[in-house]
Amino acid sequence: MPETALDSAMAPSMKLTDQDPAAVVAAIEHPTRRRDAGELVDLMSEVTGEAPAMWGAIVGWGSYHYDYASGHSGDFCRVGFAPGKQRLSLYGLRDAPGSDALLAKLGKHRVGVGCVYVNKLADVDLGVLRQLIEVGWAHPRG
């Protein structure tokens, strides 16, 4: 599998830590972003059947190992999100079979190199988001 810019950027700051995801979510200052992060924790936990863990600043579920021809390798969460100040960055939802068709129905979002950007959950169809999480969980990169 070819290495992407996201893979190259995955530095030690995106490694599994012992931070408490609930504390990270509770500390989000913006009330809408904090509420949305709580909803994402509930939704991703329900879909994956797992508890979240912190991967640097990313609240993530599960893990997968990747190896690239460049020699770069590591571990990363299968699905997750980063509650940024301006928007939510959703990880693990872009590369699964059928994700392009689902993204077309998601609602207001932008697509980055390795993630999907959403300003707020009210801008997207939560049923479609659930489907994206399901296919992303079932088909991790790597």
pTM: 0.88
Whose CA is closest to 21, among 48, 93, 122? 48
pLDDT per residue as tens digits for the range 11-24: 446 789 999 999 99
Report the pLDDT value the prediction gives residue 10, as an integer from 0 to 100.
46
Domain with 59 in it: 5-138
**Residue 12 host element (H or E):** none
How many folded domains does the chain comprise? 1
More confident residue, 57 or 11: 57
Q: Is the pLDDT of residue 34 over 50?
A: yes
Provide the CATH number for the domain around residue 88.
Answer: 3.90.1150
Q: Which residues pair with 16 in a beta bridge?
A: 55
Query: Cα 121 to the chain's mean position, in Å?
Result: 14
* Stronger pLDDT, 90 or 72, i.e. the higher one: 90
